[in-house]
Structure 1
Amino acid sequence: MHYVSAEGLTKSYGINPLFRNISFHINEGDKIALIARNGVGKSTLLRVLNGEETVDEGKIFIHKDVTVALFEQDPKFDETKTVLENIFHTNHPVLNVIREYELASESEDGEAMAELFGKMDDLNAWEFEVKVKQILTRLNIHHLEQPVSDLSGGQRKRVALAKTLIDIGFDHKHTLLMMDEPTNHLDVEMIEWLENYLNQENVTLLLVTHDRYFLDAVSEEIWELERENMYVYRGDYENYMEKKAARLESEQASIDKAKNEYRKELEWMRKQPKARTTKSKSRQDNFYEVESRAKQKIEDAQVQLQVKMSRLGGKVVEMKKVYKNYGDLQVLKAFDYTFSKGERIGIIGKNGVGKSTFMNMLQGLEPVTSGKINIGDTVVFGNFSQTGLVIKENMRVIEYVKTIAENFPLANGGSLSAAQFLELFLFSPDKQYTYLNSLSGGERKRLQLLTVLFANPNFLILDEPTNDLDLPTLAVLEKFLEEYQGCVMIVSHDRYFMDRLVDHLFVFEGDGEVRDFPGNYTQYRIWLKDNEKKDNKWDALQERKSKGETTESVVVNRASSTATASTNKAAAAPKKKMGFKEKREFELLEKEMPELEKEKAAITEQMGAGNLGFEELQKLSERIIVIDGLLAEKEMRWLELSEME
């Protein structure tokens, strides 16, 4: 089914066009990612399709049976109503009874729940209620009677996401779901759940995101807005990068060819007499077309990070038996750690377990309950926080920067004026004189990054730095951090960003426990899955024991394996002896399993080196999943054969 057709769309703000004469089509089942630099018009295009804005030129056709749903970066609510009333805002019998049931469930009103059971049955509302419950639980939405005006920014985002998902899941057969940065303010588990949910629901999707793993998981096509045009690429992000590079190379070759032709035609034009013939007039017209092509410029401006880093001495930070409590909530319990030069640490954990508190304590912004934090004399913290820019009054960008300093030292020994430094961060002279409140979210993030790097920090603390940054700026920031000689501590839901930059993780597990995991996020998830499998095997063994079977420990001397449990049948049960084929299979298994584990260890080490591209990381991650599956099968078969031996 054909959902949307757009022909010749043009949209400008003032004299600056966002896009010009673009055309596209969206069909049922399409999953499209829309990417561009900040300020180029991604969010504007979504609002145009949602009917919130109009274009200057062009036509849009949306099928009459299609419902358009837009999840925005800054969600809008009825501030006078509760979370529950905002989520179930549609007056429909099914939604009304589910709303009442959720409210009764939260308040544990057994009498009301019993009465609502019958209504739920009558309206066949149970299937949809299960979906609603899953959405609310997975997005950690509780206290449904709380006014939305009391919610934090992250809570508002999650409530808006729940509202959108419930809307599209109810009574809409044909929905175009448009999402503007849906992963901001979600933890990694929520993002992974959202990936699976969107894939299972088979929605038609138009998505704006900076999260490259999420982009690859849920989209099959990439649209890029660049230099007023739209370019379409089939496939994943890595394929987009390759195809874009080829396109730019081809365009540059075409411009170079036009320049050569232009020089020849310019010489001919200068030699021509004033009185021109009809034949030379056509050549003259062609000259102006060639001139236009020859004078095209492929602008690929990028943020330039060339700041100077303060010298970092031998002593960085020591944390000794640090405790932190908020009443009954334990954030840290006897935490010991000594930071070294050049460490790159990722911090992960569910919301509310103390990640931000930990970083504030490290910088002396929050007191410890007990214990000591000793900070080296040469340490200069650079804090890129989620709170963003703190502005007392509205002012122009250049005025704000000059309140910090007039000149800024660079890594190469030189210095730049405030205006020149702003240009490194893609603030043109015109943009420097705009007011701060008129900046986009991404522009504010760039300005915040600039102010953090002004102080020449040697210990960077980055709390969700990828929110609202466009992909080109993210790529530059990643390259800068890879070469940065100081310490880096990162809290981020962007798994690609974490995988590329961190050497090890502080995993906040709750109740004050922090695990120091040696590896990046993908390696940690693999480790978790391995442990889940071991736990499942242990549970299976315990179940067999409860049924009267005996268990004996079997130690297998393999290169990188650990002790594995083995089970025998009950003594009364007759044993089947190994035949030649089984013995041969058993011998092969004892050779194959160490080889698979050796390959897995090599891949894990390769992924931890931090020098792989996205496509290589993806392939290696997929190979590890395959290896884990093979090992699980072979280990179970080995256990079966070992019982026969």
Structure 2
Amino acid sequence: MYKKFSESATKNCYPQLITSTMPVISNQIYYLRPMHYVTVEGLTKSYGEKPLFRDISFHIEEGDKIALVALNGTGKSTLLRILCGKDVPDEGKVWIHKEVTVVMLEQQADFDLNRSILANIFAYDHPVLNAIKEYEQLTDEGREPDAGVLAAAIAKMDELGAWHFDAKVKQILGKLNIHHLDQLMGTLSGGQLKRVALAKVLIDIGFEHKHTLLIMDEPTNHLDVSMIEWLESYLNQENVTLLLVTHDRYFLDSVCNEIIELDQQQLFIYKGDYENYLEKKAAREESDKASVEKARNQYRKELEWMRRQPKARTTKAKSRIDAFYDVKEKASVRLEKQQLELNVKMTRLGGKILELKKVYKSYGNLHILKGFDYTFKKGERIGIVGRNGVGKSTFLDMLLGIEQPDSGKVNVGDTVVFGYYSQQGLVLQEDMRIIEFVKNIAEYFPLADGTRVSAAQFLQLFLFPPEKQYTYVSKLSGGEKRRLHLLSILFRNPNFLVLDEPTNDLDLPTLSILEDFLQEYQGCIIIVSHDRYFMDKLVDHLFVFEGDGVVRDFPGNYTQYREWEKEESRSTTKQSALPADNTNVAKADTAAAGKPRKLSYKEKRELELLEQEMTKLEAEKKSIDDKLAAGSLPYEELEPLTRRVGEVMALLDEKGMRWLELSELEG
């Protein structure tokens, strides 16, 4: 969008202007600037006596992709809910442009559990959505639709021009592994519900909303790594303005270009990636520390003067008294930087740790292990990866004796003390205060040098300050409960840690502390996690669950595994593209592989439509390129055309890949 400002006014407001292409006409300059989406001014919110944030302000422009970072329980989710109108501030204003639609992915989605997946995804009434819903119901897996009814549904799709959006719906549902759309929501697991919620949000923003602010609260929870990588790519291709909370630092770096942090009720803005944020935050904390020390020195001097009880008879004396209280407030700031380091004194691990011999495990037709053998060594750090549903959590349960193998042996050494962090979370018999809960485990944590750390000190290390320690556990946020659960596992001082998705719902400051703790940890560690950054930092090698009972032992971290996997995929593609040296061999290979499956009617129709759409997009791209190359466009037409050519190229890439997939199947 173009706005016109006087030259003097704009120098201060928009220093990033592009002067080389902007003519000066009668002392007026035309500036290309994105549409202004949101203004937040002086926002304050408390719960009871607990302030979450105070007098915070920020702006969101079209195209911004912002990550919101803060400790659990300090107001991240509350701020997101205020922005989408589901909560109200105590003070301050939120202005949202009238053309902007706000769509939010919450951690707990509100679904009608008695209705199907399809009915929940297409929950509101619109002719295009109704046509797609009808067509998808008819062509869902395992159905044999009536030919006449199907023909009528296809005719309606043609009439409404709904095929392009239907293709996008198919892509979203397929990539998130959502099938059997007639299944009732009440029968789904927590992870499946989260994926359906994500699909609904992505479908909503792709439908008729030209200007959308997408708000996402932990979008990568319950997604496997291939889904996370696809979501990264999807959000980068789509023309969407984004505000998200995430603990996945690779996802954050891939998607976001700005970080805003809530810290001690204030808001700080950092442009750039996560590493830049850490550097700038460290510099800010050093500056804050110096300012507080300076204020404390000044406070001591002013306090002596105040104790002499000056009488405020002069303006100068009264002014100094007022200034004293300002200095006192600055000097009273608590720097919450916890310097405690733990050199853990663990129970000694003996020579025999954990041994699996010829272990088999299946659930019906689902094979988890087929003759798995492994002997664990001291200090091993193993990451477990694989798509959802291949048995990673079941494998952990067998190590811990919760599940028994169908055959084979799992031998655990006498000196092994397991610490198991499960996805189930914290379970209490009755509500109690945080400090009581930890002291019920132990009063002190032993260190290697013979000293001990109290329960209160250990709580402080994991970001529970003294005033928070007497809060009831039931009053904690979901993320704070996860942090307390993790702390309670570590405080038991195990020598073999089994961590099942430990990063879900944890904030970034807690993750940083956990990583520091685990890097110094001398025992064995097994981690199941979709957090690639976390895995890369901590594990030595991987157990890759490839499905059908196959487990690959890969020597390296997760990034190295993905690079190896992509290289293997490229090699396989090149090999399959080579001409066969012998016709008989080629025939034998084809016979061995079985007959290639035929395209379904639905896929044939999709292939035809893809060819038509790609032809139209190529023509549109050429038309836009010609207009841009002419150099005679007025400014008000340049910005939308530039944006559209990017969208067209992304659509061509997306449709071209799908066309190739279907063409290969067709043979």
TM category (shorter chain) comes to 0.7 to 0.9
2:202 to 165, 172, 176: 165
State the 1:434 CA deviation. Answer: 3.5
Aligned to 2:25: none
Aligned pair in 2 of structure 1 residues 545, 58: CA closer, same or farther (>3 Å)? Answer: farther
CA contact (8 A) 1:307 1:453 kept: no
1:152 is the counterpart of 2:186: no
Structure 1, residues 154-198: CA drift from partner, whole Å, max 9, x if none? 111101101111111111111100000000111000000000010
Aligned to 1:337: 374
Aligned pair in 2 of structure 1 residues 302, 141: CA closer, same or farther (>3 Å)? Answer: farther
Q: How high is the sequence identity, in percent, across the aligned residues?
A: 67
1:438 to 468, 475, 498: 475
Structure 1, residues 73-106: CA drift from partner, whole Å, max 9, x if none? 1111112211111111011111112112222222
Aligned pair in 2 of structure 1 residues 86, 275: CA closer, same or farther (>3 Å)? Answer: closer
Aligned to 1:71: 105
Aligned to 1:483: 520
Aligned pair in 2 of structure 1 residues 17, 233: CA closer, same or farther (>3 Å)? Answer: same
Aligned to 1:232: 269
Q: Is the partner of 1:207 in helix, strand or coil?
A: strand
Aligned to 1:500: 537
Aligned to 2:384: 347
1:175 to 212, 221, 234: 212
- The count of corresponding residues between Structure 1 and Structure 2 is 549
CA contact (8 A) 2:100 2:213 kept: yes
1:91 to 80, 104, 125: 125
1:211 is the counterpart of 2:248: yes
Q: Distance in 2 between matches of 1:61 and 1:196?
A: 30
1:28 is the counterpart of 2:62: yes
Q: Distance in 1 between matches of 2:343 and 2:477?
A: 24
- In the TM superposition, 1:563-574 aligns within 5 A as none
Q: Is the partner of 1:389 in helix, strand or coil?
A: coil
Aligned to 1:574: none
Aligned to 2:413: 376
Aligned pair in 2 of structure 1 residues 156, 116: CA closer, same or farther (>3 Å)? Answer: same
Q: What letter is aligned with 1:10?
A: T
Aligned pair in 2 of structure 1 residues 259, 389: CA closer, same or farther (>3 Å)? Answer: closer
1:82 to 90, 109, 116: 116
Q: Distance in 1 between matches of 2:578 and 2:160?
A: 44
CA contact (8 A) 2:499 2:526 kept: yes
1:39 is the counterpart of 2:73: yes
Q: Is the partner of 1:509 in helix, strand or coil?
A: strand
Aligned to 2:450: 413
RMSD: 2.4
- In the TM superposition, 1:525-564 aligns within 5 A as 525-542=562-579
Q: What letter is aligned with 1:519?
A: G
State the 1:245 CA deviation. Answer: 1.1
Which is further off, 2-11 or 267-276?
Answer: 267-276
State the 1:374 CA deviation. Answer: 1.4
Aligned pair in 2 of structure 1 residues 115, 275: CA closer, same or farther (>3 Å)? Answer: closer
- In the TM superposition, 1:225-624 aligns within 5 A as 225-269=262-306, 274=311, 276-301=313-338, 308-405=345-442, 408-415=445-452, 418=455, 421-542=458-579
Aligned to 1:109: 144
Which is further off, 372-381 or 395-404?
Answer: 395-404
1:52 is the counterpart of 2:89: no
Structure 1, residues 402-441: CA drift from partner, whole Å, max 9, x if none? 5544555444434456555444433345544443332211
Q: Distance in 1 between matches of 2:322 and 2:434?
A: 45
Aligned to 1:100: 134
1:2 is the counterpart of 2:36: yes
Instruction: Structure 2: state its 5+ residue gaps.
Output: 1-34, 587-667
Aligned pair in 2 of structure 1 residues 142, 395: CA closer, same or farther (>3 Å)? Answer: farther
Structure 1, residues 227-277: CA drift from partner, whole Å, max 9, x if none? 111100000000011111111122222233333444444455566864744
CA contact (8 A) 2:536 2:558 kept: yes
CA contact (8 A) 1:180 1:209 kept: yes
Aligned pair in 2 of structure 1 residues 456, 287: CA closer, same or farther (>3 Å)? Answer: closer
Which is further off, 290-299 or 356-365?
Answer: 290-299
Q: Distance in 2 between matches of 1:414 and 1:105?
A: 67
State the 1:35 CA deviation. Answer: 0.2
CA contact (8 A) 2:370 2:549 kept: yes
Q: What letter is aligned with 2:103?
A: A
1:11 to 36, 45, 48: 45
Aligned pair in 2 of structure 1 residues 116, 234: CA closer, same or farther (>3 Å)? Answer: same
State the 1:296 CA deviation. Answer: 2.8
Q: What is the TM-score of this pair, normalised by structure 1? A: 0.81
Q: What is the TM-score of this pair, normalised by structure 2? A: 0.78
State the 1:32 CA deviation. Answer: 0.4
Which is further off, 352-361 or 445-454?
Answer: 445-454
Q: What letter is aligned with 1:134?
A: Q
Q: What letter is aligned with 1:80?
A: N
Q: Is the partner of 2:560 in helix, strand or coil?
A: helix
Q: Distance in 2 between matches of 1:548 and 1:379?
A: 55
CA contact (8 A) 1:302 1:426 kept: no
Aligned pair in 2 of structure 1 residues 7, 428: CA closer, same or farther (>3 Å)? Answer: same
Q: Distance in 1 between matches of 2:161 and 2:312?
A: 86
Q: What letter is aligned with 1:178?
A: I
CA contact (8 A) 2:344 2:521 kept: no
Q: Distance in 1 between matches of 2:157 and 2:583?
A: 40
Q: Distance in 2 between matches of 1:214 and 1:233?
A: 17
Structure 1, residues 618-639: CA drift from partner, whole Å, max 9, x if none? xxxxxxxxxxxxxxxxxxxxxx
Aligned pair in 2 of structure 1 residues 391, 149: CA closer, same or farther (>3 Å)? Answer: farther
Instruction: Structure 1: state its 5+ residue gaps.
Output: 550-645
Q: Distance in 2 between matches of 1:303 and 1:95?
A: 56
Structure 1, residues 584-642: CA drift from partner, whole Å, max 9, x if none? xxxxxxxxxxxxxxxxxxxxxxxxxxxxxxxxxxxxxxxxxxxxxxxxxxxxxxxxxxx
Q: Distance in 1 between matches of 2:486 and 2:552?
A: 29
Q: Is the partner of 2:348 in helix, strand or coil?
A: coil
Aligned pair in 2 of structure 1 residues 255, 406: CA closer, same or farther (>3 Å)? Answer: closer
